[in-house]
């Protein structure tokens, strides 16, 4: 989705810019009013495009996106005139945020803006309408292919669907290459060296400092990931044979239960440390108890309201898309939308009745509650303290969905309290949370190198798999070439959504969880804490959300946790039982790759 809120200003495309007659404060006020109105229009156009993929909606979205890019280009030009002038602190913060631009900065050239808007719309539409037709003539959409990867343990069947989905992306490889060229020009027009420099510069620190900081965070958690990788590789070797999964090599990417190998919890049955101990089958409970898409969403909402946060507006359930339509193509990738400055929040998600989708609903509602809580901020401050904050909130809530909480909600039966049960529970969560970390890190590592030219267009695919090997220790199950575009098989590439935010959020959610558990007065192992129904913790969380991006993120972090930096130590604390177990279990095995 193209977010234009408050990064926009109106002007005729042929207008010659002069020193503004208005003050910086008046300029910011005007931007906020004009941007709010345009945001409603553009968001609505993109909502329709995402939920009704036909040529007509592509035209509407392209034109709306083109207007948004033109406004953004105008705004940056005007905002630059105020750099170095006297203004109050609030106005200075607003000008600073405007000059950061967006994930797809608008070039000054109107023809390039038009071309970029068209390319972005077309790539996202092709992804959303993508499907794979096998040799039997069966055509499967992404959700159906994902279900096979999650459930099948047939090596060749897994290979077929993995390869099949990657037939969707090559047709827009050249479009992506052109998008990079135009977006780099836009970043340059904004005063940045390239789009990588702009993205890295959006964290209240210099670009180089942010790159070093993200690397430091990865190094904090990397040893734990390597232990998990070693253990899972050995279990996969036992299942499929060491001829397919070598004991000292890379894991074939199609065997990890997920289309992109980003989370591994779907292969918990293979990785389970103690067979049958503390089985937590939430999916079975959801199905047996007759939950539908609305009831699952309301159950997620109930966690937030238990903390003292407000109920969702009635319009949320009227305007959201929670069920995949049968009569048209849509972008099923889950996303949260702020259509009207907190007055019309909604989510787009093709909800399925299972545990993974239940967790995703909590994640998306984390975004929605951010929208609701900062709705009274000036529009320019409506956003997360940085983008990782926005992604972390719903996942922080998920960490409180402990066995005790799930039992209280009737989603599991009697829990088993033993060492073996703890290890099993932690393994299931680590296959989701820890397995994700290198994937969350490498996607933007690839894009940063693409944007900077370090990875040339003729090496897109080779560069992608080099980083996947380096960070994740995985390899393609079949030979790949530059005729492929495997990066584009992940929504966030054609959708141009920065991904480092997810890596940061997976670090910060544990940091937030620890802080909220301390505030709630919890005394025990961090992995057993749930803040459900704790209004004191809810007040602290609500105060953070209300801040939006009105302050630099270290200020927001300090208000929430008492720390001014991001820190991975809470992850190690949370998973300390499993980490110790893995180190012992892996003794005598060849780890690394």
Q: Which residues are catalytic?
A: 333-334, 363-364, 367, 391, 492, 502
Residues 202 and 384 sit within 8 Å (Cβ to Cβ): no
CA-nearest of 254, 75, 57 to 161 is 254
Distance of alpha carbon 250 from alpha carbon 158, whole angstroms: 17
Tokens, residue 249: 């090599």
Residues 464, 466, 471, 472, Cα dihedral to 10°: 80
Parallel/antiparallel/unpaired status of strands 251-252 and 474-475: parallel
Residues 345 and 312 sit within 8 Å (Cβ to Cβ): yes
Distance of alpha carbon 44 from alpha carbon 348, whole angstroms: 13
Alpha-carbon separation of residue 126 from 2, 171, 258 (angstroms): 16, 9, 21
Question: CA 225 from chain center: how many Å?
Answer: 20
DSSP H or E segment with residue 252 = strand 251-252
Distance of alpha carbon 251 from alpha carbon 236, whole angstroms: 8
Q: What is the CA radius of gyration of the chain?
A: 24
DSSP H or E segment with residue 336 = strand 335-338
**DSSP notation for 521-564:** T--S-GGG---TT-HHHHHHHHHHHHHTTSS-HHHHHHHHHS-S
CA atoms within 13 A on the CB side of 309: 29
Residues 432 and 438 sit within 8 Å (Cβ to Cβ): no
CA atoms within 13 A on the CB side of 141: 14
Distance of alpha carbon 508 from alpha carbon 485, whole angstroms: 31
Residues 436 and 549 sit within 8 Å (Cβ to Cβ): no
Residues 554 and 204 sit within 8 Å (Cβ to Cβ): yes
Residues 98 and 380 sit within 8 Å (Cβ to Cβ): yes
């Amino acid at each position: 989705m193209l977010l234009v809120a408050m990064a926009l200003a109106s002007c005729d495309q042929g207008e010659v810019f002069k020193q503004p007659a208005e003050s910086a404060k008046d300029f910011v006020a005007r931007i906020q009013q004009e941007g709010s109105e345009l945001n409603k229009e553009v968001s609505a156009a993109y909502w329709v495009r995402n939920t009704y993929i036909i040529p007509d909606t592509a035209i509407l979205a392209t034109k709306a996106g083109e207007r948004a890019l033109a406004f953004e280009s105008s705004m940056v030009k005007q905002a630059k005139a105020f750099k170095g002038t006297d203004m109050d602190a609030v106005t200075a913060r607003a000008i600073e945020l405007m000059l950061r631009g967006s994930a797809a900065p608008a070039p000054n050239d109107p023809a390039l803006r038009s071309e970029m808007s068209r390319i972005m719309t077309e790539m996202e539409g092709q992804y959303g309408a993508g499907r794979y037709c096998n040799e039997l003539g069966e055509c499967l959409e992404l959700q159906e292919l994902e279900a096979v990867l999650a459930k099948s343990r047939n090596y060749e069947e897994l290979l077929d669907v993995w390869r099949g989905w990657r037939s969707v992306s090559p047709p827009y490889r050249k479009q992506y290459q052109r998008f990079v060229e135009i977006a780099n020009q836009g970043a340059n027009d904004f005063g940045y060296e390239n789009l990588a420099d702009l993205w890295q510069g959006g964290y209240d620190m210099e670009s180089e400092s942010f790159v070093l900081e993200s690397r430091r965070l990865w190094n904090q958690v990397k040893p734990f990931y390597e232990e998990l990788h070693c253990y899972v590789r050995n279990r996969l070797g036992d299942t499929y044979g060491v001829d397919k999964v070598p004991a000292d090599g890379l894991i074939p990417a199609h065997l990890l239960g997920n289309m992109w190998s980003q989370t591994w919890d779907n292969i918990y049955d293979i990785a389970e440390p103690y067979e049958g101990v503390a089985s937590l089958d939430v999916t079975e409970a959801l199905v047996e108890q007759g939950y539908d898409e609305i009831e699952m969403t309301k159950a997620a909402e109930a966690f937030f309201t238990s903390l003292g946060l407000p109920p969702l507006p009635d319009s949320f359930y009227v305007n959201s898309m929670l069920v995949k339509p049968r009569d048209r193509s849509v972008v099923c990738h889950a996303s949260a939308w702020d259509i009207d400055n907190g007055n019309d929040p909604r989510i787009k998600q093709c909800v399925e009745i299972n545990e993974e989708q239940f967790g995703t609903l909590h994640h998306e509602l984390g975004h929605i509650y951010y929208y609701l809580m900062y709705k009274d901020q000036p529009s320019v401050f409506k956003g997360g303290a940085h983008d990782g904050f926005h992604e972390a909130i719903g996942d922080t809530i998920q960490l409180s969905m402990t066995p005790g909480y799930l039992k209280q909600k009737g989603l599991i039966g009697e829990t088993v309290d033993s060492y073996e049960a703890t290890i099993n529970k932690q393994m299931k969560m680590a296959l989701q949370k820890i397995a994700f970390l290198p994937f969350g890190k490498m996607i933007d590592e690839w894009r940063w190198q693409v944007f900077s030219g370090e990875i040339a267009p003729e090496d897109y695919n080779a560069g992608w798999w080099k980083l996947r090997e380096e960070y994740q220790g995985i390899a393609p199950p079949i030979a790949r070439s530059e005729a492929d575009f495997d990066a584009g098989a992940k929504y966030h590439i054609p959708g141009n959504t920065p991904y480092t935010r997810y890596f940061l959020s997976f670090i910060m959610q544990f940091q937030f969880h620890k802080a909220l558990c301390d505030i709630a007065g919890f005394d025990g192992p961090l992995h057993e804490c749930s803040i459900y129904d704790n209004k004191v913790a809810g007040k602290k969380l609500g105060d953070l959300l209300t801040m939006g991006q009105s302050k630099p993120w270290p200020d927001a972090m300090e208000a929430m946790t008492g720390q001014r930096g991001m820190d991975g130590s809470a992850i190690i604390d949370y998973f300390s039982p499993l980490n110790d177990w893995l180190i012992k279990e892996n003794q005598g095995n060849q780890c690394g790759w």
